[in-house]
């Protein structure tokens, strides 16, 4: 029933976003993982959507890109590394890693992730490495 309601909401919103999002909170930031439509996707199906991994700093903190950010995606049962992205693949304006539809298809129905991010106080007097881990279901 919950899935049906989310699907209807997605249709009502004009397919602006596939109806899925999860939040992972840490002391200095929050990770939002969401499934969104691909710009080239004409049929608007979940199977043709990519994944967004966005870090939002909490009040008083800012993203810092001097440290080595990393996103790793694993197969849950075997812990086989499926994809690995580093700071060069990061959209620094938005604190966003994007997994396109082609890569998303290789992840299967469920995958584990580990995202390493760096956040600092606004004046950069203290910086922190945060590691977000979780499991997502496609």
Token match 């075997």: residue?
78
pLDDT at 44: 54
pLDDT at 109: 83
pLDDT at 48: 65
- Domains (range + CATH), the chain: 20-137 (2.60.40)
* Contact predicate 23/124, CB 8 Å: no
**The pTM of the whole model exceeds 0.85:** no
Bridge partners of 113, per DSSP, are: 73, 134
Bridge partners of 88, per DSSP, are: none
Token match 């919950």: residue?
2
Residue 49 φ then ψ, to 5°: -105, 150
From first to last of its 138 residues, what are the pLDDT tens digits of the chain? 444 344 433 333 333 333 456 889 999 999 999 887 544 345 555 666 789 999 999 999 999 999 999 999 999 999 999 999 999 999 999 899 999 888 888 888 899 999 999 999 999 999 999 999 999 986
pLDDT at 49: 78
pLDDT at 5: 41
Tokens of 104: 């998303």
Bridge partners of 8, per DSSP, are: none
């Amino acid at each position: 029933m919950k899935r049906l309601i989310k699907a209807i909401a997605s249709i009502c919103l004009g397919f602006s976003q596939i109806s899925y999002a999860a939040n992972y909170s840490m002391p200095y930031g929050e990770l939002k993982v969401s499934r969104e439509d691909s710009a080239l996707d004409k049929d608007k199906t979940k199977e043709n959507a990519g994944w967004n991994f966005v870090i939002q700093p909490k009040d008083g903190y800012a993203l810092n890109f001097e440290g080595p950010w990393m996103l790793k995606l694993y197969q849950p049962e075997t812990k086989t590394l499926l994809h690995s992205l580093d700071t060069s693949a990061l959209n620094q304006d938005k604190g966003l890693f994007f997994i396109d539809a082609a890569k998303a298809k290789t992840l299967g129905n469920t995958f584990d992730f580990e995202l390493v991010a760096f956040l600092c106080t606004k004046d950069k007097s203290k910086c922190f490495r945060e590691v977000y881990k979780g499991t997502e279901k496609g």
